[in-house]
């Protein structure tokens, strides 16, 4: 496929940095560019999915929205990796906590992504393939979060294909009993795409709501809050 792609209007790979931070909300991408980047330049606005490239502490980084869910986000992950020569994508999203020791505004870094999606259906025969992040990036993320005094948890997450889904009580109970930390909707797509194309990926999430306590943040907090996660991702982003 030639560039621009159907979903990204950048005319050259040079318009996008080697590392891209990806929130779901394009307005969060704009907030990051406006707040943290020096000399930000917009490289995408197709379908309202805003993307910017700029400098953070002298390091060239890009940020772009991905939309919600595997079908939307996987398009952008694939096009950035395959056609724009991006090496690393760091997912910065929100998630619902599934464990009592994981609290509102804590950070979760996904060591693996359990999913009900069929994105890898039939690829591995009888085996359930569970995609994982880049190990060095994972270790650096956890280490840096602790150094920045950010409450952080590293473990498996549930990546669901549906936001409004009634999980059978037994299924949800098993997921929680086996240690799933939170529920979100994009990490499996990121990790699968990175594994397929030999790229680097890491998914991290700020807890925006809690399945057990029913706590929840406002839409405004989700859009412009979660600065600790943003700053952590910027700090560990490879140049």
- List the chain pLDDT tens, one digit each, 239 residues: 689 999 999 999 999 999 999 999 999 999 999 999 999 999 999 999 999 999 999 999 999 999 999 999 999 999 999 999 999 999 999 999 999 999 999 999 999 999 989 888 889 998 889 999 999 999 999 999 999 999 999 999 999 988 887 778 888 899 999 999 999 999 999 999 999 999 999 999 999 999 899 988 877 766 556 899 999 999 999 98
Pick the CATH number of 13-236 from 3.40.50.1820, 2.60.40.10, 2.40.50.140, 3.40.50.1580: 3.40.50.1580
- The reported pLDDT for the residue numbered 223 is 58
Task: Indicate the pTM of the whole model.
Answer: 0.95
Q: What are the C-alpha distances in Å from 53 to residues 10, 43, 219?
A: 11, 7, 25
- The reported pLDDT for the residue numbered 60 is 98
pLDDT tens string 52-69: 999 999 999 999 999 999
Burial class (CB in 10 A: 0-12, 13-18, 19+), 6: exposed
Structure tokens at 180: 């799933």
Return the domain boundaries, the chain. Answer: 13-236
Which 3 state secondary structure label does DSSP give 48? helix
Catalytic residue chosen out of the listed positions 14, 136, 166, 209? 209
- The question of whether 209 is a catalytic residue gets the answer yes
C-alpha–C-alpha distance, residues 130 and 124, integer Å? 11
- The reported pLDDT for the residue numbered 87 is 98
């Amino acid at each position: 496929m030639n560039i621009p792609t159907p979903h990204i209007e950048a005319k050259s790979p040079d318009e996008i940095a080697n590392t891209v931070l990806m929130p779901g909300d394009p307005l969060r991408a704009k907030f990051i560019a406006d707040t943290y980047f020096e000399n930000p330049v917009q490289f995408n606005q197709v379908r309202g999915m805003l993307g910017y490239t700029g400098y953070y502490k002298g390091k060239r980084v890009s940020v772009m929205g991905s939309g919600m869910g595997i079908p939307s986000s996987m398009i952008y992950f694939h096009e950035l990796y395959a056609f724009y020569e991006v090496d690393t994508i760091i997912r910065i999203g929100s998630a619902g906590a599934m464990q009592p020791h994981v609290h509102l505004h804590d950070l979760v870094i996904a060591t693996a992504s359990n999913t009900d999606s069929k994105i890898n259906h039939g690829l591995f025969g009888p085996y359930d393939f569970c995609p994982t992040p880049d190990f060095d990036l994972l270790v650096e993320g956890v280490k840096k979060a602790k150094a920045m005094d950010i409450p952080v948890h590293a473990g498996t997450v549930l990546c669901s294909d549906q936001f409004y889904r009634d999980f059978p009580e037994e299924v949800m109970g098993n997921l929680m009993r086996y240690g799933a930390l939170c529920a979100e909707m994009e990490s499996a797509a990121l990790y699968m795409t990175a594994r397929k194309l030999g790229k680097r990926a890491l998914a991290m999430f700020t807890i925006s709501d809690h399945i057990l306590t029913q706590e929840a943040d406002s839409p405004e907090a989700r859009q412009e809050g979660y600065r600790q996660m943003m700053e952590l991702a910027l700090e560990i982003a490879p140049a």
